[in-house]
Structure 1
Amino acid sequence: MYQVIIVDDEPMIREGLRSLIPWEQYGFCVKEIAKNGKEAFELYQRLKPDLMIVDIRMPEMGGLALIDLIREKDSTIHFIILTGHADFSYAQKALSSRVDGYLLKPLDEDELIDLLIQIRTELQRHNAINLLKEKDQLWQRDLLIKETLSEPIDEKNLMPFYEKWKGHGLLAERYRIILVTVPESMDKVHASLSSIANEKKDAIPFSICTFNGVILFNDALHTEKKVAAYIQSTKGYGAIGATITDPADLYQSYEEAQSLLNQTFLFEEATFITKDLIAGVQEHESEIVTELSMDHYVESLSITITLGQIESCQSQLQEFTNELIKRKYDSQQIKKNIVHLYSMVINRLVLNDSRKLKSIESTQFSTSQIYDQHHVHAITEAVSDRFTELIHLVYSGGKESTIKRMLDLIKQQYDQNLRLESLADLLNYNSAYLGKLFREHTGEYFNTYLDKVRIENGKKLLVNGYKVYEVSEKIGYKDVDYFHRKFKKYEGISPRTFQKQQTAIK
């Protein structure tokens, strides 16, 4: 509806005119009435109406003076003069002030309606033109923003660029780029960002390539928080680039935000990624000097699973994942390494106790469950859940004691680098206390018990014809001379002599 103000010093005229015409039928509504020009001018400043119907002779300020005063500021408003004076000089003055109609009292209703229809048509045409202009300006502004974010501006084009930037009302002391990616259509995201940006008028939304985002002007903390809340509610991701002062360098903030948004694999949904957040999970490449020790994690995880230590298993898996992140592996490298770790752990468990194979295979799990995940935390959780399932179904041993599980571990993994201190850490025991418990239960010190298990398994290998150095390595002694000493300590003869004696008996 187009807004109308009626101005007349006669109450009956004001009220009668308001009720006489079916304004809404012709696209108008009477917002206010005024009894003189001074009062009408105050209403004009507050309401900015589309049409004013004005009497000429009124106290304090007449109609023509009111029209001249408003025309100094507003060239688009429409006026209809309604007067009881058929004075040519008045009519001439009204025409010079670009008045749409000059009606005499008593009012002819049809004449007024004809004028209203004409004015409505003019207003519609004017609004349509303005809308086209606004759309063109927005298109030009959006094009300028896209060009600014896409690549550095050539030095010879800097002055024209600054003029365009200023012409679109984009000047500010500081700028930052926020990019978002959420599980909604590009148009819907753009509409949501537009709504947020319009609240404080301190940001401009844009769409470029597959990204939606906003340019923040100056601090714009309210808008930044609102965008972060939007990302949280939609379970998407957002990233914010560096603050810059020269709009010609805005592409740098965009590129940084884009780079951060490419790291979504490292974070759970609903995360607002900043440079500081990335720094918290990644170390500089120069700080990583050692190779990734896959064997260490395989051995450690197989031991914790066998011991039924869920928390230790989860922490080691997280530690392994953090190592991959610190080395700045991409998503496919991380997935590949975690799949490799999982496969090696399962192979180790089966190798240590082949009787467990059927139980392991009965619990369904496919490595595609790792490759299908969209962020590293979901991968870690999936593998952790799988290992926990194995602990509960296969390796926990129900209510068996800690020492019983240690004995099973030695039986299955005597060839590994088993140390009482390491097992105590995994089991959350003091090593001296755990050693005491072990000795009370078995009558042997931990290392003595381990040595005896190794020697017994070594004797079987010697009987089967393995060479002494091969047996030494297979039962966990890297130094063959050390194996000689241990064997002679417990058997009273050397491994070679034992082998000869067994061969002679056969």
Structure 2
Amino acid sequence: MRVLIVDDEVIIREGLRQVVSWSDHGFQLLEPAVSAEEAIKVMENNCPEIILTDIRMSGMSGLDLAAYVSEQELPAEVIVLTGYDEFSYAQEALRQGVSDYLLKASEPDAILDAVKKARDRLAATKEHVQWKQGERERCITSLIKKIVKDTYEQKEINQLKELIPELRAFAFQFILVDKQLPISEIVKMEKLWNTYVFGKWLQFEDKIAIIVTRDPRLEDEYLIQMAAKKISQQIGKPLLVSTVVSALSELPSSYREVKPLLLYQWILREKRMISLTLIKGRRGIAYAEKMKDHEEMLFNFIHTGNYQEFTNFMDELITWLFSHPQATPGSIQLYLQTLFISMLQFVNRIATSIGKDTKNYKSLLPPAEWFPSYKEFLLPSFTKIIDDYQNLVHRQNNYVQLAIHYMEIKLDQSVSLQEVADHVHVNPSYLSEMLRKETGASYVEFITELRMSKAVELLVHTPAKVKEVSNQVGYSDWKYFTSQFKKHFGLTPTQYRQRLKADAN
């Protein structure tokens, strides 16, 4: 129990500090205060339970300090120290809520007896018991947070074990739940959990952390599974579980292991427990698996401006990505980022071709921000590109933009001017004339430029072979493609790629 001495005379402060063997009687003596004002500051941080204060001091008196304790309803006993000529203060002291008073010249046994009586009175009050319980929980929470964040000292691990004897075990597991709960609910969930296996629950930042003691031979696995099932049903969130460690000092590494699992709760929605073992074999979604089909569909939505169909497509795409057996948070983000960049590059190429300013787009949000609700945080980024394209083409001759769009999505095929003109329902000669007017190039020159730009993109961003690049930009004869590429850039595709690698190094 903490004791605070308050006196502006150093000889009294030091005398009271030394005359009683405080620690031998279960008391923790705080650093004495030289005034009532300083005592109030000490009380804010250290919560003394017994206060020994002089009556007469410069500034606030000891009775003023007693009144403050009473007004604030602090769970503390105040004992005033008086001189022989100050007994007239006794009646006022009692009115201010002082629990006892002593002569400064009292024998050590009398001082100790008064302090012990104050301790007994405190222990008998419900408010103090509740306060002590709250203080104990605050201390436990503070210690666990220090250990998990790796800012602890060894003595604090020992202190935690003293407070929670169950943590003197030999195997532990760190569990994180991505949810906030009121203290009353945390207590309720901890009680439910402990009907299966011991776990200490606490609010950790904006989540819940659970320190679980495990059987060293893991013969309690069934109990853990049952506890996880009950808690997951109650909270509606999975438990992110570390591997089992043998000491509390290993909890920092357990926390680092669990943090990356947070994003997997959106991928493995059906799982009650998510661990590193569960995701260990995932390689990520292959770039080329469906990318070409998805790009073509997105280009079509850019062109048509059908927002409802686009939203439906995005729902299906997100479902496919998150349910993919090889999905990882990073590969989902990369897949969508690639589609996003393809869309904005397409729109900006159209803008450049007709002499309009290109737009700068913000990058996609990181996964942690949009995984919980892609429609709210991710969909608007894609929709903005469609809006920009629609605004762009509606300010120009629409059939020219439709023609350019059609050429873009058909780059892997041999597309004639007639076919493009038929698609936009205009005369081929007129289309050729308007295309030259808006882009400064003939049909052949323009589609060749599109194919060469796409070829460079594939050479730079994919490991595709020259023959594969040739096919993807509409050339069935890769040798002819190579000659056209060299004519355009002064280098063969292979030389171009090698130059880029050399420049990068």
TM category (shorter chain) comes to 0.3 to 0.5
| TM-score (normalizing by structure 2) | 0.40
Rg larger in structure: 1
